[in-house]
Every structure is written in C-alpha cells, then in structure tokens.
Amino acid sequence: MMATTHVFAALAAITPVAIVVPEFATPLAVGAILGGLAPDFDLLFEHRRTFHFPVAGVPVAVGGITLAGLAPTAVTVAFAAFTIGAWLHAVSDAAGGGPEMDPWNDPSNRAVYDHVRGQWLRPRRWIRYDGAPEDTAIAIALSFPVLVVFDGWISAVVAAGIVVSLGYTLVRRRLVGWLPDWLE
Ligand SMILES: [Zn+2]
C-alpha cells in the first residue's frame, strides 16, 4: 500500500478519539501520521521486517493506549496514536503484495515479517500493488472522515496526500521501467 494509504488509515483510526477529546486532536494526528510512515524507514535495512511488527505491535499498541488512558498528556496521546498507526501499517501490509516493485511479473511470498512466530506472513493480494486503483480508492475513502473532523494544516496535508496518490497511481506501472537497474 502507498504511504498515504497507511497514513490515512492511521488518521481514520484516531479520528473518533479526536471527536471525543478535541483538545488532543493535534497530538493524535501527529502521532498517527508518524506512526503510519515509520515502519517503511526499514527500507534502509530489511524492508517489511526491521520496523514492521504485525503481531508484536499489538501489545505495544495496547500498552500505549493504556498509558494514554491513565496519564493523558500530549506526549502519551501522541505515542498511543503512533503505536496504533505503526501496527495498522504492518498488519495491512499483509493485505497487499510483496515488497517488490513489479508484483505483476515477479510475485514474492513475503508480505511482512512476524517477529513473534519468526516467519514471513504471506501476501493476501487484496490490494495487488501499491498505487493500484483499489489502493487509491481505499486511501480516498479513509481520508473523508479525517477531512470532515480535522482542519488547518492536518486537512491540508491530507488534501496534498490525495493529489500525490492520484498522480502516483497514474504513473505507478510505468515507474518500474524508469528505475535504474540496480534498484530493481
Ligand atoms: Zn510497510
């Protein structure tokens, strides 16, 4: 899935909480955006493994939510939103394909690594590849509640993300041909 889909999923997850406690809307959104992006920084290491915790992320998120519930401050609330966003990202990567750029030619059986069982989860391919039309449709659907509830820079970031997603979807399959050989 696209980075924007992950970020919008994280934002959509915390949106109901932001309605109940609007005073924490900004730390919730900041935590969710960073949490939705963070796992893919393992592109620098072993992608879909180093920072992706589809199973181990559950107790971490439960801990983050519990801490924010017991001691709600901007920092604990942002941390809870971060753990939720990062877990959602890791688990939803299993709904797509593998990390390869051209899964329509060279599908892999490794979607995301489960550190608890010590094995790779297989790709479900409900979303065929990042930037597939169904990926963009989900991203846009997830952005609606966020755009309704949030305003200011958060809704501006989401609107910009929609534009980027649409552009990426249009060129996605051609991107593979433009990549230098060493990157493929
Ligand atoms: Zn990922």
* Per-residue pLDDT band at 175 (split at 50, 70, 90): confident
Q: How far away, in angstroms, is 99 Cα from ligand 1 center?
A: 8
* Per-residue pLDDT band at 181 (split at 50, 70, 90): low
Beta-bridge mates of residue 114: 119
Q: How far away, in angstroms, is 4 Cα from ligand 1 center?
A: 11
- pLDDT, tens digit, 9 for 90 and up, residues 13-58: 999 999 999 999 999 999 999 999 999 999 999 999 999 999 999 9
Q: How far away, in angstroms, is 27 Cα from ligand 1 center?
A: 23
Cα 120 versus chain centre, distance: 18
Which phi and psi (to 5°) does residue 179 adopt? -70, 145
Q: How far away, in angstroms, is 45 Cα from ligand 1 center?
A: 12
Domains of the chain: which residue ranges? Answer: 3-183
In this structure, are residues 52 and 42 in contact, taking their beta carbons and an 8 Å threshold?
yes
Beta-bridge mates of residue 119: 114
Q: What is the pLDDT of residue 105?
A: 81
In the structure, ligand 1 is a single-atom ion and the residues with CB under 5 Å from it are 39-40, 93
Q: How far away, in angstroms, is 41 Cα from ligand 1 center?
A: 8
Token duo for residue 99:
């990390």
Q: What is the pLDDT of residue 97?
A: 86
Q: How far away, in angstroms, is 174 Cα from ligand 1 center?
A: 21
Give the global pTM.
0.93
Q: What is the pLDDT of residue 184?
A: 44
User: With helix as H, strand as E and coil as C, how does the chain read?
Assistant: CCHHHHHHHHHHHHHHHHHHCHHHHHHHHHHHHHHHHHHHHHHHCCCCCCCCCCCCHHHHHHHHHHHHHHCCCHHHHHHHHHHHHHHHHHHHHCCCCCCCCCCCCCCCCCCEEECCCCEEECCCCCCCCCCCHHHHHHHHHHHHHHHHHCCHHHHHHHHHHHHHHHHHHHHHHHHHHHCCHHHC
Q: How far away, in angstroms, is 180 Cα from ligand 1 center?
A: 22
Q: How far away, in angstroms, is 48 Cα from ligand 1 center?
A: 5
Q: How far away, in angstroms, is 18 Cα from ligand 1 center?
A: 25
Q: How far away, in angstroms, is 103 Cα from ligand 1 center?
A: 15
163: CB partners within 8 A, 6+ apart:
none
CA dihedral 87, 100, 168, 34 (to 10 degrees): 20
In terms of Cα–Cα distance, which of 71, 72, 88 is closest to 34? Answer: 88
- pLDDT, tens digit, 9 for 90 and up, residues 59-112: 999 999 999 999 999 999 999 999 999 999 999 999 998 888 888 787 889 999
- pLDDT, tens digit, 9 for 90 and up, residues 135-173: 999 999 999 999 999 999 999 999 999 999 999 999 988
Q: How far away, in angstroms, is 23 Cα from ligand 1 center?
A: 30
